[in-house]
Amino acid sequence: MIKNRLIKNAKKIDNFLINYLNRQDRSLLINPMKYGVISGGKKIRSTVILSAGKIFNLDQRKLINICAAVECIHSYSLIHDDLPCMDDDSIRRGKPSTHIKFGEASAVLAGNSLLTLAFEIISDKNYLINPKLKNEIIKSLAFCSGHTGIAGGQELDLKFENKKKNLKQIIVMQKKKTGKLFNFCLYAVGVLAKRNNKEKKFLSILGEEIGLLFQFADDFLDIRGSKELVGKPIKKDKKKGKLTLINLMGYEKAHNYANNLKRKILLKLKKHGKKARDLSDTIEFILGRNF
Ligand code: GRG
């Protein structure tokens, strides 16, 4: 069952990160970093990576560093997203946001340190993969995280607040803000599976579509979700003047759009037959989830 798989994967990644951090020199930032990345969150991106790895019979041990790095970048983005200068949210994952618990300066520095930790984890000499593949993965992670990826998407999201934008502009923003990290997840699997450029491109686009689907679900939960299950206040998007596809096209139309997108993604996985079962289940969960 997908929920058990999520829990199992989250534990695996948390343990990896705990061990990794415990081997490093002590610092004052360890606690806010751990608070931001360990024991919290669905670790859905890791489950996407591990499920996609099954399509190509990849050894899970080769994927763990990628998962941990992605969760570091993701948690970094959430810590910064919650800051007063961004979305100004004081609750995350059912707990006070990192800047509420540790102060703004520590939250900024812990976020920055998680970003750099991600690259440390992938470039680690003990991560035994071909250096050429490693380099390709590092470059893609940088591209998907920076101004051409989630940071650039976040800037658009903030600049779009209370403005009039069309469908294409909102999709571009969401594919960057949320989609690019999922893009990286599938691309990295393609690199490790030594796929050709055409297939890696196919996987990147598929990942970005999965990210867009994930963002749809996030926006649905903001309207109809439960604060307790989601672990953060709901009904914030409208108050903040956020541009979402639901605000643009209305709940029902957005729901149909998201379901069509899900079908399109599942259809693309058909060619992999049974090997894509875990990833297909993960995609069903992504849209159907209530947390
Ligand atoms: C990190 C490169 C970088 C830049 C910082 C603040 C920021 C720029 C980007 C924010 C991006 C952002 C918050 C995207 C939203 C994505 C999203 C729907 C997050 C919720 O993800 P879940 O549900 O969270 O997977 P959990 O708590 O389960 O981990």
Least confident of 117-126, 161-170, 231-240: 231-240
Looking at residue 253, its pLDDT comes to 97
Residues 227-241: pLDDT tens digits? 999 999 999 999 999
Rounded mean pLDDT of 93-100?
A: 98
Span from the CA of 273 to the centroid of ligand 1 (angstroms)? 31
Looking at residue 191, its pLDDT comes to 98
H or E element in which residue 95 lies: strand 95-96
* Both tokens assigned to 249: 């096209």
Looking at residue 146, its pLDDT comes to 98
Establish how many alpha carbons lie within 13 A of residue 245's alpha carbon, considering only the half-sphere containing its beta carbon. Answer: 25
pTM of the model: 0.97
pLDDT, the chain, mean: 97
Residues 209-225: pLDDT tens digits? 999 999 999 999 999 99
Rounded mean pLDDT of 167-178?
A: 98
Residue 178 has pLDDT above 90, yes or no: yes
* CATH number for the domain whose boundaries are 2-288: 1.10.600.10
Partners of residue 95 on adjacent β-strands: 92
Nearest Cα residue to 182 out of 37, 48, 61: 48
**Binding pocket residue ranges, ligand 1, CB within 6 Å:** 41-42, 44, 73-74, 76-78, 80-81, 86, 93, 145, 150-151, 154, 177-178, 215, 218
Looking at residue 6, its pLDDT comes to 97
Looking at residue 281, its pLDDT comes to 98
For residue 206, count other CB atoms closer than 10 A to its CB.
22
Give the single-character DSSP code of 270. Answer: G
Give the single-character DSSP code of 96. Answer: E
Q: What percent of the chain has pLDDT over 70?
A: 100
The full DSSP string for 175-232 is IIIIIHHHHHHHHHHHHHTT--HHHHHHHHHHHHHHHHHHHHHHHHHHHHS-HHHHTS
Residue 88 has pLDDT above 90, yes or no: yes
Looking at residue 209, its pLDDT comes to 98
Atom of ligand 1 nearest to the CA of 73: 1
CA distances from 25 to 20, 21, 30 (A): 11, 8, 9
Residues 262-281: pLDDT tens digits? 999 999 999 999 999 999 99
Residues 128-149: pLDDT tens digits? 999 999 999 999 999 999 999 9
Phi, psi of 57 (to 5 degrees): 55, 35
Phi, psi of 267 (to 5 degrees): -65, -40
Span from the CA of 206 to the centroid of ligand 1 (angstroms)? 19
Q: What angle do CA 115, 45, 171 make, to 5 degrees?
A: 90
Q: What percent of the chain has pLDDT over 90?
A: 99
Banded model confidence at residue 39, pLDDT cuts 50, 70, 90: confident
Residues 145-162: pLDDT tens digits? 999 999 999 999 999 999
Residue 22 has pLDDT above 90, yes or no: yes
